[in-house]
Amino acid sequence: MADHLKGKRVCVTGGSGFLGRVVCERIKERGVAEIFVPRSREFDLTCSDAVERLFDVAQPDVVIHLAAEVGGIGANRHHPGRFFYANMIMGLHLIEESRRRGIDKFVQVGTVCAYPKFCDAPFREENLWSGYPEETNAPYGVAKRALGVMLDAYAREYDLSGVYVIPVNLYGPGDNFDLETSHVVPALIRKFCEAKGDGRDSVTCWGTGEASREFLYVDDAADGIVAAAATCTDADPINLGTGREIRIADLAALIAGLCGFKGRIVWDTSYPNGQPRRCLDVQRAEKRLGWRAKVDLEEGLKRTISWWRSTVSESAACTAAR
């Protein structure tokens, strides 16, 4: 298959973030001419003037749009308006400016939150519009879903080459471990590591533990996104996942064991579970991209726990040295 990245100037929004850093590493391996990573302090992507200025400076052939305002269930409950507006308007400005400039390709990274709350698992791409998303993250999910429609419409009317990939829940080294805004894997890792370090005999987790999720290691996600950017030529959605589903209760027990925590896990049922199930059908990614996830959950969790512990140790050492 042709490589649509080689020799091109690529702009990666969110390129300094958790996923973006790995995507940029993978792009470099493709022999691109230049990678431009806009910083939010210089380019506010929610403002059309800033997006126009970004294109003037970067002169991109390809745009990979990773930038997002996102968080876990708590953050989604507190900021539904902001999450809808920011994610919708960033994508609108970027896609429209890409059309105006006649770029070669626009890659939009979607979200598993866009799938209906009650969707037959594993989720197939054609089921994306078969119902409304789970309420706690619906504003974010609907905004991302709409951008996929925009890409398809722009392809049909303006011949803008668009790619739309839908990664399942991501995790890995460099993730957000802030308990107020983090997703489930980093939150659990931090809780169990801190509980073990403090000698506590219990850890409280949100919900009932009965909901299920699927998790994709950040390196695998980056490989899938870059494969789509390099080879894909249409805007059909493509799931990126492992196809392995796990109950949150089982995930918590697994992480507790890997962290060495042997106390009780207490479930606070006053908090919502979120979507009942999440598991993706990933056949389309394998057929069209030749991509398949390589890092299994246990290995990915071990790497992430090791990274978190080393980060905490380094932070403590720096604080002590002051």
**What does the block give as tokens for 273?**
């579970």
**Among residues 45, 55, 68, which one has the least CA distance to residue 98?**
55
Res 4: pLDDT: 79
Res 315: pLDDT: 62
Torsion of CA 272, 242, 105, 142, to 10 degrees: -20
Percent share of the chain, pLDDT over 70: 96
Q: Count other Cβ atoms within 10 Å, centred on residue 257.
A: 13
Active site residue 217: no
Average pLDDT over residues 78-86: 93
Residue 225, pLDDT above cutoff 60: yes
Residue 231, pLDDT above cutoff 80: yes
Q: Count other Cβ atoms within 10 Å, centred on residue 208.
A: 15
Q: Which pTM value belongs to this model?
A: 0.93
pLDDT digits (tens, 9 = 90+) for 111-168: 999 999 999 999 999 999 999 999 988 999 999 999 999 999 999 999 999 999 999 9
Q: Specify the higher pLDDT residue, 233 or 201.
A: 201
Res 322: pLDDT: 52
The H or E element containing residue 248 is helix 248-259
pLDDT digits (tens, 9 = 90+) for 6-49: 999 999 999 999 999 999 999 999 889 899 999 999 999 999 99
Cα distances from 126 to residues 88, 142, 225, 239, in angstroms, run 22, 16, 19, 11
Res 229: pLDDT: 96
Percent share of the chain, pLDDT over 90: 84
Residue 223, pLDDT above cutoff 60: yes
Mean pLDDT of the chain: 93
What radius of gyration, in Å, describes the C-alpha atoms of the chain? 20
Q: Using H for helix, E for strand and C for coil, what is the string for 254-314?
A: HHHHHHCCCCEEEEECCCCCCCCCCCECCHHHHHHHCCCCCCCHHHHHHHHHHHHHHHHHH
Domains and CATH numbers, the chain: 9-172+214-245+276-295 (3.40.50.720)
Catalytic residue among 85, 115, 140, 217: 140
Q: Specify the higher pLDDT residue, 314 or 268.
A: 268
Contact 216, 168 (CB under 8 A): yes
Q: Count other Cβ atoms within 10 Å, centred on residue 153.
A: 14
